[in-house]
Amino acid sequence: MIVLKGATDVTTYFVLRLAATGVEATGLTITNFDLQYTRSGVAPTAKVDATALAATDSAHGDNQAIEIDATDQPGLYRVDWPDAAFATGVREVILTVKCATVFTEHLRVALVSYNDQDGVRMGLTALPNAAADAAGGLPISDAGGLDLDAQIGTDIDAILVDTGTTLDGRIPAALVSGRIDASVGAMAANVVTAAATAADFLAEVNAEVVDCLNVDTYAEPTGVPAATATLTSKIGRLHQALRNQITITDTKKIFYDDSAVALWEKDLSDDATTYAETEGNAP
């Protein structure tokens, strides 16, 4: 059972059965009922002897009870409880009805902060924490019958009328000349800036290449030429062979550095049919 915290004049109904047979108990003496309740986490209240209600539809009376109908609803009894049982501060209360000849019955009642009998907003004063239609509150339709789908369509139509077009796939001129133009303009400006930056970068690269070729100087290579070498070394070997001293005998071709020191040589052979030069090696 669920009851709103702080509820007043709470009435419950119990089915009482004879302990000896389990059959519904009828004709019980109300003043023999012991009524007691226990709120969660709190010591139980003192047992109270019930008093009889005048009729099944009598006004609420704390700790009063009455049999409903011994013939057509045998064993059913109405019990009225004091308001203190349902006061705020706990989550539940256990209601107990005890009588000497019947099974003792307990009823667990959950105490909640919302009112499930309130068809407007379940007992809450506002959803959310502000009055509806007020600042921070839920929007409502003052006239009632609000159809959000229809309203959204109406609002879009009104916007399109203001911008001089209809929703047929075209973009309103006002939007094109306003936000869209501004966005496209900003993107175009960014593209121009990026292009200028790229041009500056290419110019810098070109200048560095020109410096490497026309300004920077490199020492001549040393030792025997390797099969795998840098481009600088390979170009240096060509320059070295064209510029520096070379001596040729009938068996040797010797290459020198700028100081006339022999760096490497080739072995020569000629059998009057084939002239050959070996791969470069140390002198």
Taking only the tens place, the pLDDT of each residue in 242-279 is 999 999 999 999 999 999 999 999 999 999 899 999 99
* pLDDT-based confidence at residue 128 (cuts at 50, 70, 90): low
User: Averaged over 160-182, what is the pLDDT?
Assistant: 56
Query: How far is Cα 49 from Cα 36, in angstroms, rounded to an integer?
Result: 9
Query: How far is Cα 191 from Cα 176, in angstroms, rounded to an integer?
Result: 20
Answer whether CATH 2.60.40 is correct for domain 2-112: yes
Could you tell me the two tokens for 245?
């001293």
pLDDT at 274: 95
**Which residue has 């667990």 as its token pair?**
108
* pLDDT-based confidence at residue 151 (cuts at 50, 70, 90): low
Whether the pLDDT of residue 178 is over 70: the answer is no
Percent of the chain with pLDDT over 90: 61
* pLDDT-based confidence at residue 73 (cuts at 50, 70, 90): very high
Looking at residue 269, the DSSP 8-state letter turns out to be: E
pLDDT at 182: 65
**Domain boundaries of the chain, sorted by first residue:** 2-112, 231-277
Taking only the tens place, the pLDDT of each residue in 33-59 is 999 999 999 999 999 999 999 999 999
Taking all residues of the chain, what is their mean pLDDT, rounded to a whole number?
86
Beta strand ranges found along the chain (DSSP E)? 2-4, 11-15, 34-39, 48-49, 51-52, 64-69, 73-80, 92-98, 105-112, 246-248, 252-256, 262-270, 275-277
Least confident stretch, 5-19, 24-38, 205-219: 205-219
Could you tell me the pTM of the whole model?
0.47
Length of the chain, in residues: 283
